[in-house]
Copies of this chain bind each other. A is one copy, B any other.
Amino acid sequence: MNRVINDPNQVTEDSLAGVLRAHPDLLTATDHPRVLRCAGPATSRVGVVTGGGSGHEPAFLGYVGPGLVDAVAVGEVFASPTAKSFHAAFREADRGQGVACLYGNYAGDNMNVKMAVKLAAKDGIQVETVVANDDVASAPADEADRRRGVAGEILMWKAGGARAAEGADLDGVIAASRKAIDNTRSIGIGLSACTIPANGKPNFSIETGTMEVGIGHHGEHGIAVLPVAPAREMAGIMLEKILADLPFDGEEVAVLVSGLGATPLMELYLLYGHVDEMLRARNVTPRHRFVGNYFTSLEMMGVSVTLCRLDGELDRLLRAPARSIGLTVAGS
């Protein structure tokens, strides 16, 4: 695996240094080396925090910015940030109105957030959490609280960030974030493995000619290993799994097709075409459309599809202006 790195154990630090040099207008360093906050003056409103392992760029730090996330805790590659860095992110984001911590359902993140919330309580900072569990492939519907959070988190951040920017109180921001993720389902298909730089070799494998349906963002096993299907069938398999879990008939949705890293953009668009066509055939209209490398897994090949059922509020929140590395909405 040929990489653009120095010391494989320092990739997170080294990469953060570059991010800060590239985006001084968007991101600012803090006292905690693994916490970045939104550049610019802090207005008095609810703070929005997220955090997660590195290697998913532009997630998580790429969604810090006006109208989105206020502060982010950055973990090692594929590892939860520490409790102390979540705590520091809460302190950065708090302006006296409380903090909404919007993160993904992984054991490490759950524990570190839980500890950080306790630490913040001692500082008198109120933190409420929403934990994303949009990955339909990671557990059956009746164990939905075991499901992982994946690319749907982006829509949760967008909704929560927009609601905070509107001036809602903490309950309001939490409610909007929860509504977003509760109406969101995702599923991924993995087409090749990836390698954590510090490990030097992949810790899972996907044979050429096969695809792992329901793969997780760290190579977690999916629900089926099948021969690689044409893109049209991939779209069908993914939509079927999503729609079985949350029927979307006759509604408007946001669709997010994200590459897992190494799959060319032209293939993501190709897949989007089929998803769009199939949704419309079911009388579901894609109102917001995102196609690109929004939530990746290093250099994994593959793709994820996320659908979010919209109501008037979610539509408004997704439409609200926002600026970040990963997502810019001009506003209308």
Chain A residues proximal to chain B, CB less than 8 Å:
1-6, 11-12, 14-19, 21-23, 54-55, 57-58, 62, 77, 189, 191-192, 206, 208-211, 228, 230-232, 234, 261-274, 276-277, 286, 289, 291-293, 296, 298-299, 301-303, 323, 325, 328, 330
Contact = CB atoms under 8 A, between A and B. Distances in A.
A12 to B, nearest CB: 8
Contacts of A21: 272-273, 276-277, 286, 289
B296 A2 contact: no
A234 B6 CA distance: 10
A4 B291 CA distance: 14
Q: Which of A208, A293, A302 has the most CB of B within 10 A?
A: A293
Contacts of A299: 262-264, 301
A18 B273 contact: yes
B266 A57 contact: yes
Contact of A231 (B5, B263, B267, B277): B5
A3 B12 CA distance: 29
Contact of A269 (B15, B192, B231, B303): B15
A199 to B, nearest CB: 14
A264 B296 contact: yes
A18 B276 contact: yes
A14 B330 contact: no
A315 B113 CA distance: 44
B18 A265 contact: no
A272 B1 CA distance: 20
A211 B2 CA distance: 8
Contact of A22 (B22, B210, B232, B276): B276
B261 A15 contact: no
B58 A265 contact: yes
Contacts of A323: 330
Contact of A270 (B5, B264, B291): B5
A306 B312 CA distance: 43
Contact of A11 (B17, B210, B228, B266): B266
A1 to B, nearest CB: 7
B265 A262 contact: no
A6 B230 contact: yes
A22 B231 contact: no
A55 B264 contact: yes
Given A2-B228, A4-B270, 12 more contacts: A2-B206, A2-B209, A3-B228, A5-B230, A12-B266, A15-B267, A15-B269, A16-B269, A18-B273, A58-B265, A261-B264, A330-B330
Q: Which of A55, A265, A301 has the most CB of B within 10 A?
A: A265
Contacts of A54: 266
A191 B267 contact: no
A232 B6 contact: yes
Nearest to A262: B262
